[in-house]
Amino acid sequence: MPLTVEQAIAFATTCRDARPMFLEEPVWPPEDFAALAEVRSKGGLGIAAGENACTEYQFRQMMAAGAVSHAQPSVIKVGGITEFLKIAALADRLGVKIVPHSPYFGPGLLATLHLLATRDDGLVELFYLKREACLWGGRADSDATGHVAVPSGVGLGYEPDREVMERYRVT
């Protein structure tokens, strides 16, 4: 988000030969859908945005403006699974790919994995770091090939590790 429209177009032109899948929210503010559409059109690369958008309405504005090739709804920020599904259906109707924003380690990640399992385009943005502890015992981490197993238990798939919860409980 640090770039002006002109800078983002120049950057897109410069890196076009590397064939990136998209530029992610290259201009500030990310809600300037006209600016994103201009960068997408003149820069010749896909644009991903939406990690801070909160409703289907905002995604509809974004997509109608031609601002994105890849929408990045966050199941936590859009208000849950039902709103995420509305956004995904809208994207499907308009030919926009879904690449969910999911820098979570808790239920938001598990919900995102289940939502992606219902789709053909299964890319997800994950926040990677070495954690001291994990509620899911590392079972929702990506493997060496970048794949993440979809939890198959009841609810969201995994019961949280109670020992981890106790160890990090704040009273």
List the beta strands (DSSP E) in 66-139: 70-71, 97-98, 101-102, 125-126
**Peptide bond preceding 29: is omega within 30 degrees of 0, i.e. cis?**
yes
Residues of the chain below pLDDT 50: none
CA dist., res. 70 & res. 51, Å (int): 11
Percent over 70 (pLDDT), the chain = 99
pLDDT score, position 138: 74
8 Å CB contact between 90 and 78: no
User: Would you say the pTM of this structure is higher than 0.85?
Assistant: yes
Containing H/E element for 159?
none
127: DSSP letter: -
8 Å CB contact between 10 and 30: no
3-state SS class at 142? coil
Q: pLDDT of 4-50, one tens digit each?
A: 999 999 999 999 999 999 999 999 998 999 999 999 999 999 999 99
pLDDT score, position 86: 96
